[in-house]
Amino acid sequence: MSSSRVLVLNSGSSSVKYQLLDMSDSSRLAVGLVERIGEETSRLRHTPLATGASREWTGPIADHEAALKAVAEELAKDGLGLDSPELAAIGHRVVHGGKHFTEPTVIDDAVLAEIERLIPVAPLHNPANLTGIRTARHLRPDLPQVAVFDTAFHTTMPESAARYAIDTETADAHRIRRYGFHGTSHAYVSRAAAELLGRAPEEVNVIVLHLGNGASASAVRGGKCVDTSMGLTPLEGLVMGTRSGDLDPAVIFHLARVGGMSIDEIDTLLNKKSGLIGLCGDNDMREIRRRIDDGDERAQLAFDIYIHRLKKYIGAYYAVLGRVDAVVFTAGVGENAAPVREAAVAGLEGLGLAVDGALNAARSDEPRLVSPEYARVKVAVVPTDEELEIATQTYALVGRH
């Protein structure tokens, strides 16, 4: 029997998201989520795609090992158990791969040690990713496990884009540089955009705008990332749901010296209480649009700040690339919020950019162009699929045996 299934695991500090895919036709067999791990009210939601009928379970799940065992049991009920010979590999999303990991990597002890060494630059994410990997290895020690890094796609950035203009020795001593994140999505979407344009990825230059709760932009030349908006951490760049994105670093000194805030308080302020939620009290773009329709000025200002930043990055990456074939919107906001796409591109006709009102307003789950025929630079919407990309990269590395 050929092994063509890949289990994709995205392990957070208190959650595990998973998808089981069959790579013979890239179809999904099951999807699910375990939340609130370590609490009395942990919740598992499992959906086998054959029936589409979700099963939910609430109760205490002590740790990631128990969570993964519960997932394995659910999969087994559908005849998709982790002990199946059809399972080729497990693909893990790992947030930070530093400079070292430029490609998906089969996990061994040395790889685990390197991911662990990166914890100081990804204290929130890498420990949870490591727990997921260790647990999966424990359950299926014989099975290839692959790490797919959020940073990998950005390792092609030239030093001129990746380095901050700070003292080189200090930067190197603390591994301070711009790493970028959402790389799996930027890779998938930039490739799919080239396909939509009917051209090879090597031939096209695109600006990808991944606008979810977290948000990042990237400039991709001929399939390779040459700049991205997130930096050492996912805090830099665009205005996000709860993160500030770019600001004068002196704001931090000011808050500490004049505002009397601790470093941890400032960290929480900028990561959790800023961005759209800090500006208007809501981080969901649907709610913000609803409030704008009701004449809410705070919501309107939050939207305007969000759009202003987005536009600045479109302009900046246009300049970085020199020639742009398409601006591509993806993720929750990018795929669904027509007003965001319209406003971000408004006034950029001089750069060859325009959206067509009707095309932009039409809803679809498919990759599509929303620019008018005459636009020199196409505007596209491409739904992202990070799990499929992780499974594809994992299978390319270990499959077909």
For ligand ADP, the binding residues (CB under 6 A) are 212-214, 241, 283-286, 331-333, 336-337
d(CA 204, CA 191) in angstroms, rounded, equals 9
**Helix and strand counts by DSSP (H, E) for the chain:** 15, 14
CB of 103 to ligand ADP, least distance (A): 24
Q: Establish how many alpha carbons lie within 13 A of residue 168's alpha carbon, considering only the half-sphere containing its beta carbon.
A: 2
Which residues on adjacent β-strands are paired with residue 391?
none
Is 211 assigned a ligand-binding role in the annotation? Answer: yes
CB of 288 to ligand ADP, least distance (A): 8
CB of 183 to ligand ADP, least distance (A): 14
CB of 287 to ligand ADP, least distance (A): 8
CB nearer to ligand ADP: give 187 or 333.
Answer: 333
Is 298 assigned a ligand-binding role in the annotation? Answer: no
CB nearer to ligand ADP: give 183 or 212.
Answer: 212
d(CA 3, CA 85) in angstroms, rounded, equals 6
Is 59 assigned a ligand-binding role in the annotation? Answer: no
Decide if 150 is catalytic: yes
Is 182 assigned a ligand-binding role in the annotation? Answer: no
* Helical (H) or strand (E) element with 134: helix 126-139
* Helical (H) or strand (E) element with 21: strand 16-22
CB nearer to ligand ADP: give 22 or 386.
Answer: 386
Residue number of the CB atom closest to ligand ADP: 332
Residue 268 vs residues 37, 212, 242, 306: alpha-carbon distances, Å:
22, 19, 10, 20
Alpha carbon dihedral 278, 280, 285, 288, in 10-degree steps, equals 170
Q: Which residue of the set 150, 282, 325, 385 is catalytic?
A: 150
User: In the numeric block, which tokens belong to residue 81?
Assistant: 């158990």
DSSP code for 353:
B
Is 210 assigned a ligand-binding role in the annotation? Answer: yes
d(CA 125, CA 139) in angstroms, rounded, equals 22
CB nearer to ligand ADP: give 82 or 338.
Answer: 338
Annotated binding site for substrate: 93
Q: Which residues are catalytic?
A: 150
Annotated binding site for Mg(2+): 10, 386
Annotated binding site for ATP: 17, 210-214, 284-286, 332-336
